Amino acid sequence: MDLVPALEEPLRQPLKSVLGPATAKVMAEHLGLLTVGDLLHHYPRRYEERGQLTHLADLPMDEHVTVVAQVADARLHTFASAKAPRGKGQRLEVTITDGSGRLQLVFFGAGVHKPHKELLPGTRAMFAGKVSVFNRRLQLAHPAYELLRGDPEESVETWAGALIPIYPATAKLESWKIGKAIQTVLPTAQEAVDPLPDTLREGRGLVPLPEALLKIHRPHTKADIEDARSRLKWDEAFVLQVALARRRHADAQLPAVPRKPAPDGLLTAFDARLPFTLTDGQQRVSREIFDDLATSHPMHRLLQGEVGSGKTMVALRAMLAVVDAGGQAAMLAPTEVLAQQHHRSVVEMMGELAEGGMLGGAERATKVVLLTGSMGAAARRHALLDLATGEAGIVIGTHALIEDKVQFHDLGLVVVDEQHRFGVEQRDALRGKGKQPPHLLVMTATPIPRTVAMTVFGDLETSVLDQLPAGRSPIASHVVPAADKPHFLSRAWERVREEVENGHQAYVVCPRIGDEEDDPKKSAKKKSPEDEAEKRPPLAVLDVADQLVKGPLQGLRVEVLHGRMHPDDKDAVMRRFAAGETHVLVATTVIEVGVNVPNATAMVIMDADRFGVSQLHQLRGRVGRGSAPGLCLLVTEMPEASPARQRLNAVASTLDGFELSRIDLEQRREGDVLGQAQSGARTSLRMLAVIDDEEIIAEAREEATAVVAQDPELTHLPALRTALDALLDEEREQYLEKG
């Protein structure tokens, strides 16, 4: 966001470096900080008051931490070891305290001399290192430390009240070293050019940017920190929303063919043969979509709905409306299993309406073709011909749809299923297949909190389906603590048998396939003390299926499904399961989206702690799709108090996807949620918290929309224009376009 030569000066230069070359190198490699401006925007994670110490009791395991504490006691021990056989080995144990807890520091060998002299009882210092456990006690081994010596001039009060910034750090560069580097470049903050228009900044009482940068890095009071944060959050929200507003503005200028359904066409015939009525939500969302399709610029709409809320039905009706209007519709699915499944269900729902050009087809019918990478040459040629001539009104496929060879007669609508699995280029390539930009409908079953929708999908209008269709059954979810209560796991398999005896089917989901070569390097690295459960590799489909067949599910028909099977085999397994020939399907997450077998009522998720919250919610949505109630069992070996267990308890306690997506967002870093759109150190949100700052994001969106409507090219706001270029190099702006 920095536009001034001084702020764009690289930290590392061949002739003279702003910082020492070693420090600059670590900053570039480990923190992604390349320029003076990057460093100024590396904000403190929190502040310590010298007099008010960190809670040692709450230290996270296995993380790099910085704490401010006082030495309670220090003892030097000698011991014998291979290196020092005559009892000459030395170990210094220092106990530090903050009133809430105690933490042990250990130093060995030659490393004991300096701390032995300096870390005397009563000394206060900042300590940084990785928290580990030894003999059931928390410790830091060989921490780096910086003594906090009050200036002799300073009174005790000012010394204790001083705010020490604690920066996001790495093992190679402690927080206080980053702080010193920032103090070196802080004078250049005066040259930062302000991206916020003056009227906006003054109207909202925000401090100028140079002042905000000084206050965030060198606050005198807590009020300074608040002023700086409010201002820097606004920068991030506003510049991002201007980028999105410009995309929306540009999209609104594009031409598109309006697609209005014929009054007595396919859509009318299709609605007439539906055996149920659409929910109010489906009717409302369909109206929003039809209104968009009737305009002469491209629709860009995000359709989000709970698992099983009938999004496919809404999308199919939109596709039929476009076919009625003389165009073609393409649906892009993330996996072959899902493309085949969609194709099957669309053909079933349409019946004779999907048999255009065939004997027995209805007079207003069209053709529905499938196009995937693994199709045979003849079938593929046939499908391509149907698309090029316009014989096929609807095509459903995987990325194979995007290949150069695929030509459409008149592509009018693109439906993208499960947006988060599609890359940018793919969506763009498909949109490029139309004579004019086609209308776009993006479907996601991962409910997205409103603020994230405004931030990530800010170029799309949003429709929400929040009602489940009639006839859907409730799903009961329970956590099964396999390590604490092994008999719970035995009971889980009994429940699966009971479901099968009642004529139903079950899924068992595992994180891994099981035919991978175990990489010794990888397994050596993975050592987390959270629990033994973390140390073993995740459970695998092939192993679990084998154990179930020989053990608790003996006598039932068990099959496996995973991503590395041949597509024909996958399809055959899914067909047998859908037909009820298989009792239990042991699978990886290939069944996560779109798989629809109403007779499957139970799901057991092994190592459930290895999955994310929204993924568990997605998986669970595969059961309870018929009239019988669903059951989802989350099996874990994680201890009761662990964050992983809390996450699973949250999933078990609610079926509300929006509530879960909030929990998910609070537990993960924002950057993960914003995905690639926020990758790269320069461009990620540093200050803005998508959940907490809902109000700022909504206001920034309004302000940005107004600014762009008045001056789309930002001609009168050169500083904002430059800030935008810094935030969005070309590639990033392209990314935002796709959400």
Question: How many Å apart are CA 407 and CA 384, to the nearest integer?
Answer: 7
Tokens for 305? 């709905």
Its pTM stands at 0.65
The residue whose two tokens read 């925000």 is 206
Residue-wise pLDDT tens digits, 173-210: 878 788 888 888 888 888 888 889 999 999 999 999 99
* pLDDT for res 5: 52
* pLDDT for res 2: 41
Quick check: 223 and 435 in contact, CB under 8 A? no
Nearest Cα to Cα of residue 464 among 447, 488, 485: 447
The residue whose two tokens read 């028909």 is 557
* pLDDT for res 652: 92
3-state helix, strand, coil in the chain (%, to 5): 45, 20, 35
Alpha-carbon torsion, ordered 476, 481, 482, 487, to 10 deg: -70
Residue 17 has pLDDT above 60, yes or no: no
Average pLDDT over residues 506-530: 61
Residue 50 has pLDDT above 70, yes or no: no
pLDDT band at 679 (very low <50, low <70, confident <90, very high): very low
Tokens for 346? 């669309």
Question: How many Å apart are CA 284 and CA 280, to the nearest integer?
Answer: 6
Question: How many Å apart are CA 722 and CA 731, to the nearest integer?
Answer: 16
Question: How many Å apart are CA 65 and CA 167, to the nearest integer?
Answer: 10
Quick check: 410 and 325 in contact, CB under 8 A? no
Alpha-carbon torsion, ordered 464, 466, 471, 472, to 10 deg: 100
**DSSP states of 301-354:** EEEEE-TTSSHHHHHHHHHHHHHHTT-EEEEE-SSHHHHHHHHHHHHHHHGGGG
Quick check: 269 and 323 in contact, CB under 8 A? no
Residue 330's φ and ψ, nearest 5 degrees, are -120, 135
Instruction: Give me the half-sphere count of Cα atoms (radius 13 Å) on the Cβ side of residue 76.
Output: 15
Angle between helices 657-667 and 613-620 (to 10 degrees): 160
Residue-wise pLDDT tens digits, 138-161: 888 888 888 877 654 444 445 445
Residue 527 has pLDDT above 50, yes or no: no
Per the model's pLDDT, the better-predicted residue between 285 and 28 turns out to be 285
* Beta bridge partners of residue 281, listed in sequence order: none
* pLDDT for res 368: 94
Q: Give the best-scoring range by mean pLDDT among 64-78, 401-415, 666-680, 701-715.
A: 701-715
Residue-wise pLDDT tens digits, 472-502: 677 899 999 988 888 899 999 999 999 999 9
Residue type, 55: H
Tokens for 556? 């039932």
- Pairing label, strands 584-587, 558-561: parallel
Residue-wise pLDDT tens digits, 395-449: 999 878 877 788 899 999 999 886 555 555 666 676 677 778 899 898 887 767 7
The residue whose two tokens read 């910082």 is 19
Question: How many Å apart are CA 555 and CA 670, to the nearest integer?
Answer: 47
DSSP 3-state of 664:
helix
Angle between helices 175-185 and 209-217 (to 10 degrees): 150
